[in-house]
C-alpha cells in the first residue's frame, strides 16, 4: 500500500532513526544493516503517536521503509499496543484508570461525569477526548488519570488524585497538574523519623534529590558498585547466594543463580535488562523507586552488567510512567557524563551503558520473553520456554532480566554482605519487601517491611482499614494473585507462607476491600482485564479469558446457562485449561484471583 507521510511525521521518525542515508530520503538502502535496526520500531511508532496523535498509514509506511520492516508486520506491532492508535485520535487524551484501586475510589463516578460533560469515551470534541485505561500504577493516589498531549511539544502528565476540578480543567482545554507525588504520600514511612531508620530500599526516597548524582553519592550511592568491582563477578554472585535473594517480580527465582547462569555462558554478547514494565494492577513500588531514587536502579543494573559480563543494559519501562522516564533519563545522562556509564566505568576497566525503552500499553510486555520481543520490535508475544533467557534471551543471547525491586536489593546485599542481609526476614524469604498497599486503608502507599511480617501488621502500619473494622477481603499479588478473607490476616508475608496458604505475593500488591466494597464488581473487572490484556497467541488464554468473563457476567446477572453449579463447573474447566496449557504466566494465572474469590470468599455463593 502506498501512503505518504506528512513532513511532521517524517521529521518525528527521523528524530528517532536519524536522517535517511542519502540525504534526500528518496533512496533507502536495505539489507542486513537496515533490518538490524528493527529494535527501533517501537520507539519510532511511539514518536509518530506523540507527534501526530496516531500512527497513520503514511507514518507507518515511512517507518517500515526506513527499518526494512514489512508494513503488515509493522501494523501488527502498532495494533498490539493500547497507547498507540491506528485510527485518528484527538491530540489530547485523558486516560482514566478504571482498575481495582481506582474503582474503590470512585473511578466509575468520574467516568459518568466525563460522559456527562464531554460525551462518550473516544469522542472528539475540540481535539480532546477521554478513554478508559487499565491500572496506571498510581493506586496510592487513586482515582488516577494520565493526560497525554500529542503535538510539537508532546506532554504526558500523571494526574492523581483526579478530582472534579482537574477533570473540568482538562475538558476546558487546560492542563492538568500532577506528575510525581510527594514522597511522604507515596511512601508514608519516609515521613516518620522512627520508621525511616528501618528502611533499606526506601532509604533515599524523599531524602535524596533524584536529579543529582552528587546527592545520590552523598547518600551512599555507588558504594555498592565499588564493592562489586573489588569483589569481582564471582564474589558478587557468592554474596547474592549467601543473601538468598529471591526475585521480587513474582516468580521468586534465586537472583545469584540467575546471574551465575548468564555469566557462565560462552556465547557473546550478554545483556542485562531491568524489567520496569510494572503493570500488575495495584502495583506501584517500582514507580516510586524510579521517580524518587533513579540512580539506585542505574547503579544496580551496572552491577548486574559487570557481574554477568554484559556491556549493554536495557531498562524496559512501562509506557504509562512518564515521570519515571524523565527521572531515569536524567540519571542515565548524568551517570554517563560522569563516567559511571560508558567505555570505562569508574575507571575500573569495564564498559557498560544503559538504554531506556518505553512500552506502549501492554500488560503482557512485562512477561520476560514478551518483553524481549517488544524491545526487538516485534509483537510482545511470549516465547515458549525452554529455552530460557539465561541462554536465549534478548536478541537470542544470554540475558539477565530482573525486576526493579530485585535489582535495588542487590545494593543492600553488597552494602551489608550476603550473610548479614540474610539475617533479615525469614529463613527462606530473606531481606525486606516492598508492598503496595492500596484500596480502603487509612494511608495507602509503598511500605517496606521484613519478609515474614504479618498481613495484619502491614495493614496497621498503613493506618488500618478505612472507617475501622476488618476488611471484607484483601487482594494479594494483584489480578494474577488471590483474594484472602478477614480470617487470613495473620498470614506471614513470606514466599513460603504464601505458598503454603495457596496464595502468591506476586509483585507485592496488598489491596484492601472494606465492608462496602463490591466484590462482584472487582471480580468482573479482573476478568475483563485479562480478556483485554491477553496477547491472543495461544487458544487457552485467547478464548479462555473471554469464556471466563462471559460465565462471570452470566452469574452476576443471574442469567445462568443451567444451574449455578453448572456455571461453576464450567469456570473450573476454563480455569484448568488456562493454567495447564497456556504458553505464559498471564494465561496460567488469569483464573487465580477469580477462583479465590469464588472459593474463599463465596462470591456468587
Partner 1 sequence: MKVPVAPPRRLVEVEIDGRSVRVPEGSTILQACRAEGIETPTICYAENLTPVNVCRVCVVEVEGARALVPACSRTVEPGMKVRTDTERVRRSRRLVLEFLASSVDLSLAPDLHRWQEVYEAHPERFGALMEPAAEGERDGREPGRHVPVEPGTAETVAQPVKIDNDLYVRDYARCVLCYRCVEACGDDAQGTYAIAVAGRGFDARISTEFAVPLPESACVYCGNCIGVCPTGALMFKTEHDLRREGRWDEARQTVTTTVCPYCGVGCNLELHVQDGEIVKVTSPADHDVTSGHLCIKGRFGFTFTRA
Cis peptide before 269 (omega within 30 of 0): yes
In the list 14, 28, 86, 235, the residue contacting partner 1 (rule: CB under 8 A) is 86
Q: Which of 45, 540, 591, 596 binds partner 1 (CB under 8 A)?
A: 540
Choose one: 43-51, 251-259, 464-472, 577-585; the region binding partner 1 (CB under 8 A): 577-585
User: Among residues 102 and 437, whose Cβ is nearest to partner 1?
Assistant: 102
Cβ of residue 59: shortest distance to partner 1, in angstroms?
A: 11
83 prior amide bond cis, ω within 30: no
Span near partner 1 by CB under 8 A; candidates 214-222, 254-262, 430-438, 582-590: 582-590
- Could you report how far apart the first and last alpha carbons of the chain are, in Å? 55
Residue in 214, 502, 539, 602 binding partner 1, rule: CB under 8 A: 539
- Under 8 Å between Cβ of 292 and 206: yes
User: Which range of residues in 267-275, 288-296, 489-497, 568-576 is near partner 1 by CB under 8 A?
Assistant: 568-576
What percentage of the chain's residues is helix, strand, coil (to nearest 5)?
45, 15, 40
- Name the minimum Å distance from CB 70 to partner 1: 3
72 is an interface residue for partner 1 by CB under 8 A: yes
Residue 528 sits in the site that holds partner 1 (CB under 8 A): yes
* Residue 87 in the binding site for partner 1 (CB under 8 A): yes
Rounded CA-CA distance 226/209 in Å is 21
Are 484 and 473 spatial neighbours (Cβ–Cβ below 8 Å)? yes
412 touches 200 (CB < 8 A): yes
Among 107, 187, 225, 574, binds partner 1 (CB under 8 A): 574
561 binds partner 1 (CB under 8 A): yes
Bridge-based pairing state of the strands 353-358 and 399-403 = unpaired
By CB under 8 A, residue 582 contacts partner 1:
yes
Applying the rule CB under 8 A, the residues between 439 and 458 that interact with partner 1 are none
DSSP string, 23-63: SSSS----HHHHHTTGGGHHHHHHHHHHHHSS--HHHHHHH
The edge-to-edge listing of strands for the beta sheet with 482-484 is 445-450, 432-439, 509-513, 473-476, 482-484
Question: Is 106 a residue that touches partner 1 (CB under 8 A)?
Answer: no
Task: Tell me which stretch binds partner 1 (CB under 8 A): 10-18, 63-71, 398-406, 595-603.
Answer: 63-71
Binding to partner 1 by residue 115, rule CB under 8 A?
no
Q: Residues 194, 559, 565, 605: which binds partner 1 (CB under 8 A)?
A: 559
Please report whether residue 531 would count as binding partner 1 according to CB under 8 A.
yes
User: Which of 60, 101 has the CB closer to partner 1?
Assistant: 60
User: For partner 1, which residue of 238, 532, 599, 600 counts as binding (CB under 8 A)?
Assistant: 532
Pairing mode of beta strands 155-159, 270-276: unpaired
Query: Among residue numbers 357 through 386, which ones bind partner 1 (CB under 8 A)?
Result: 361-362, 379, 384, 386
Distances (CA, A) of 45 to 78, 211, 281, 358: 7, 28, 25, 11
Taking CB under 8 A as the criterion, the residue among 534, 589, 592, 596 binding partner 1 is 534
Beta bridge partners of 473: 513
Instruction: By CB under 8 A, tell whether 478 contacts partner 1.
Output: no
Asked, as a colleague might, if the bond just before 553 is cis with ω within 30 of 0, I would say: no
Strand ranges in 338-394 using DSSP code E only, listed in sequence order: 353-358
Q: How do 310-317 and 445-450 pair as beta strands?
A: unpaired
58-66, 210-218, 219-227, 445-453 -> range binding partner 1 (CB under 8 A): 58-66
* Among the listed residues 208, 139, 145, 205, the one whose alpha carbon sits nearest the alpha carbon of residue 175: 145
Separation CA 291–CA 181 (nearest Å): 9
Q: Are the beta carbons of 228 and 350 closer than 8 angstroms? A: no
**Rounded to the nearest whole angstrom, what is the least distance from the CB of residue 3 to partner 1 in the complex?**
8
CB of 513 to partner 1, least distance (A): 22
Q: Which is nearer to partner 1, 289 or 365 (CB)?
A: 365
Q: Residue 85 or residue 406: which is nearer to partner 1 going by CB? A: 85
- Whole-angstrom distance, CA of residue 504 vs CA of residue 48: 39
Name which of 61 and 205 has its Cβ closer to partner 1: 61
Determine the 3-state secondary structure of 145 from DSSP.
strand
71 binds partner 1 (CB under 8 A): yes
Q: If 0-12 CB within 10 Å is exposed, 13-18 middle and 19+ buried, where does residue 351 land?
A: middle
Told to check if 279 binds partner 1 by CB under 8 A, we report no
Q: Does 547 bind partner 1 (CB under 8 A)?
A: yes
Q: Which of 57, 106, 211, 442 binds partner 1 (CB under 8 A)?
A: 57
Given the complex with partner 1, which of 76 and 211 has the nearer CB atom?
76
Q: What is the dihedral of CA 183, 509, 548, 557, to 10 degrees?
A: -70
Nearest Cα neighbor of 129 from 163, 88, 161 is: 88
**Residue 145 vs 224, nearer CB to partner 1:** 145
- Select the residue interacting with partner 1 from 468, 557, 563, 605 (CB under 8 A): 557
Report if residue 573 touches partner 1, rule: CB under 8 A: yes
* Count of residues that bind partner 1 according to CB under 8 A: 63
With binding defined as CB under 8 A, does residue 307 bind partner 1? no
Can you tell me which of 5, 39, 42, 75 binds partner 1, judged by CB under 8 A?
A: 75
Rounded (10°) CA dihedral 261, 265, 269, 270: 0
Residue of the chain from 256, 533, 589, 596 that contacts partner 1 (CB under 8 A): 533
The residues of the shown chain that bind partner 1, judged by CB under 8 A, are 1, 57, 60-61, 64, 70-76, 79-82, 85-87, 131-134, 361-362, 379, 384, 386, 528, 531-540, 542-547, 549-550, 553-554, 557, 559, 561, 570, 573-574, 576-577, 579-583, 588
Amino acid at each position: 500500500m502506498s501512503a505518504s507521510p506528512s513532513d511532521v511525521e517524517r521529521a518525528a521518525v527521523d528524530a528517532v532513526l536519524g536522517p535517511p542515508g542519502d540525504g534526500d530520503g528518496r533512496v533507502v538502502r536495505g539489507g542486513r544493516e537496515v533490518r538490524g535496526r528493527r529494535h527501533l520500531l517501537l520507539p519510532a511508532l511511539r514518536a509518530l503517536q506523540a507527534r501526530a496523535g496516531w500512527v497513520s498509514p503514511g507514518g507507518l509506511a515511512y517507518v517500515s521503509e526506513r527499518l526494512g520492516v514489512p508494513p503488515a508486520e509493522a501494523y501488527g506491532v502498532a495494533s498490539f499496543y493500547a497507547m498507540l492508535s491506528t485510527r485518528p485520535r484527538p491530540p489530547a487524551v485523558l486516560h482514566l484508570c478504571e482498575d481495582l484501586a481506582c474503582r474503590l475510589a470512585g473511578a466509575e463516578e468520574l467516568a459518568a461525569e466525563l460522559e456527562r460533560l464531554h460525551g462518550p469515551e473516544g469522542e472528539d470534541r475540540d481535539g480532546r477526548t477521554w478513554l478508559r485505561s487499565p491500572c496506571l500504577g498510581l493506586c496510592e493516589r487513586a482515582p488516577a488519570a494520565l493526560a497525554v498531549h500529542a503535538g510539537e511539544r508532546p506532554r504526558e502528565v500523571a494526574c492523581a488524585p483526579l478530582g472534579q476540578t482537574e477533570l473540568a480543567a482538562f475538558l476546558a482545554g487546560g492542563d492538568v497538574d500532577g506528575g510525581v507525588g510527594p514522597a511522604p504520600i507515596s511512601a508514608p514511612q519516609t515521613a516518620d523519623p522512627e520508621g525511616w531508620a528501618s528502611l533499606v530500599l526506601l532509604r533515599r526516597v524523599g531524602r535524596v534529590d533524584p536529579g543529582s548524582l552528587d546527592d545520590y553519592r552523598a547518600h551512599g550511592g555507588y558504594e555498592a558498585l565499588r564493592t562489586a568491582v573489588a569483589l569481582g563477578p564471582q564474589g558478587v554472585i557468592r554474596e547474592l547466594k549467601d543473601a538468598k535473594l529471591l526475585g521480587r517480580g513474582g516468580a521468586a527465582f534465586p537472583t545469584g543463580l540467575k546471574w551465575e547462569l548468564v555469566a557462565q555462558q560462552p556465547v557473546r554478547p550478554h545483556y542485562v535488562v531491568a524489567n520496569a514494565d510494572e503493570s500488575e494492577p495495584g502495583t506501584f513500588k517500582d514507580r516510586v523507586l524510579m521517580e524518587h531514587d533513579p540512580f539506585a536502579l542505574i547503579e544496580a543494573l551496572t552491577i548486574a552488567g559487570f557481574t554477568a559480563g554484559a556491556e549493554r543494559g536495557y531498562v524496559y519501562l512501562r509506557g504509562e510512567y512518564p515521570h519515571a522516564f524523565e527521572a531515569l533519563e536524567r540519571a542515565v545522562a548524568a551517570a554517563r557524563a560522569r563516567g559511571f556509564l560508558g567505555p570505562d566505568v569508574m575507571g575500573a576497566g569495564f564498559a557498560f551503558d544503559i538504554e531506556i525503552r518505553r512500552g506502549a500499553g501492554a500488560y503482557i510486555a512485562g512477561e520476560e520473553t514478551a518483553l524481549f520481543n517488544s524491545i526487538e520490535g516485534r509483537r510482545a508475544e511470549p516465547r515458549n520456554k525452554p529455552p530460557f533467557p539465561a541462554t536465549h534471551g534478548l536478541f537470542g543471547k544470554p540475558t539477565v532480566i530482573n525486576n526493579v525491586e530485585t535489582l535495588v536489593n542487590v545494593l543492600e546485599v553488597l552494602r551489608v554482605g550476603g550473610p548479614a542481609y540474610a539475617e533479615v526476614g525469614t529463613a527462606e524469604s530473606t531481606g525486606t519487601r516492598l508492598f503496595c498497599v492500596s484500596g480502603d486503608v487509612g494511608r495507602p502507599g509503598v511500605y517496606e517491611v521484613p519478609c515474614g511480617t504479618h498481613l495484619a501488621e502491614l495493614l496497621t502500619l498503613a493506618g488500618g482499614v478505612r472507617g475501622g473494622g476488618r476488611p471484607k477481603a484483601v487482594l494479594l499479588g494483584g489480578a494474577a494473585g488471590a483474594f484472602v478473607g478477614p480470617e487470613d490476616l495473620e498470614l506471614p508475608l513470606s514466599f513460603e507462607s504464601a505458598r503454603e496458604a495457596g496464595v502468591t505475593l506476586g509483585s507485592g500488591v496488598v489491596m484492601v476491600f472494606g465492608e462496602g466494597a463490591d466484590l462482584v464488581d472487582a471480580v468482573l473487572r479482573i476478568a475483563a482485564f485479562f480478556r483485554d490484556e491477553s496477547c491472543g497467541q495461544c487458544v487457552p488464554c485467547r478464548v479462555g479469558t473471554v469464556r471466563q468473563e462471559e460465565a462471570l457476567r452470566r452469574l452476576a446477572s443471574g442469567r445462568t446457562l443451567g444451574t449455578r453449579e453448572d456455571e461453576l463447573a464450567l469456570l473450573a474447566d476454563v480455569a484448568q485449561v488456562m493454567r495447564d496449557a497456556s504458553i505464559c504466566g498471564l494465561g496460567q494465572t488469569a483464573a487465580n484471583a477469580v477462583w479465590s474469590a469464588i472459593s474463599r470468599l463465596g462470591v456468587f455463593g
